[in-house]
Amino acid sequence: MLTVMSISSATDQAQAPAIQVRGLEKSFKEVHVLRGVDFEVAPGAIFALLGSNGAGKTTVVRILSTLLAADAGTAAVNGFDVAARPADVRESISLTGQFAAVDEILTGRENLVLVARLRHLAQPGAIADSLLTRFSLAEAGGRRVATYSGGMRRRLDIAMSLIGNPPVIFLDEPTTGLDPEARIEVWQAVRELARGGTTVLLTTQYLDEAEQLADRIAILHQGRIIVNGTLAELRALLPPAKVEYVEKQPSLEDVFFAVVGDSATSSAPSTSSTSSTSSTSSKE
């Protein structure tokens, strides 16, 4: 049922996993946060790292994005070891941290141009404009980010991560603190990413988020991966489903979207939802 780690040969780059983590350990002073974490992510997959607060999800992401050194174990991203070749890893990844990593004083467009310049790309202005359109931020592009809603910031944040088309993207709790509509917008953006062939490692504490998005789900608990598999595989861990008759009540989410009257089923982040989320306050 659970995946057994197979030591795949690194000879064929295309077949090699996009992310490979073996025996990763990390302590902060007395606290043993990671106690031997193992997992692999196939190229182009959406992999969800699920766990409660403090489980060590962010620590894994920080190690994989070269912000933190591991105490033991190895990790490779896009075939490059994070400790030995951090510069190559940074060329291969984008990180969207827990807190929207945007510059509040700059406009949305200036934020995108900044990242495009730092990635040494030609025509940063054109890249910024196309991303603003793609993430329904074209109208807000000239405004300072300080005036954006939580959902708009998060979309800008993800847009910034796409610049330069890195093959691997880390999203650390991308929807924490967002309202339901903004969450669905972010999910939509993540799905589009995976469709384009990008490998996505997502951390979340929301079970439904993992269920909605991920091809594979791993549960990080007390410093180890205790379960790793597809949703179907995880479901099969429990006793087979038995048939019960339950009166179906609408969930609060059903009620919310019925009353608000949009977005739940819309396929792309629309400008109408942009304007409705802009009235809500930012996440914290």
Partner 1 sequence: MATHFVGDTAVLTGRTMRHVTRSPDTIITTAIMPIAIMLLFVYVFGGAIDSGSVSSVNYMLPGILLITIASGISYTAFRLFTDMQGGIFERFQSMPIARPGVLWAHVLTSLAANAISLAVVIGVAFAMGFRSGAGPLAWLAVVGILLLFTLALTWIAVIPGLTAKSIDGASAFSYPLIFLPFISSAFVPTRTMPGPVRAFADNQPVTSIVNTIRALFAQQPVGSGVWTALAWCVGILVVAYVCANIAYRRRIS
Residues contributing to the site for partner 1 (CB under 8 A): 65-69, 87, 90-91, 93-95, 97-106, 110, 114-115, 117-120, 157, 160
> Closest approach of Cβ 214 to partner 1, in Å?
22
Least Å distance between CB 136 and partner 1? Answer: 22
Q: Which is nearer to partner 1, 16 or 101 (CB)?
A: 101
Least Å from the CB of residue 258 to partner 1: 35
Q: Which residues pair with 74 in a beta bridge?
A: 22
- Judged by beta carbon, residue 76 or residue 102, the one nearer partner 1 is 102
State in angstroms the smallest separation of the CB of 95 from partner 1: 4
Nearer Cβ to partner 1 (51/97): 97
Find the shortest distance in angstroms from Cβ 212 to partner 1. 24
Question: Smaller CB distance to partner 1: residue 170 or 257?
Answer: 170
94 or 203: CB nearest partner 1: 94
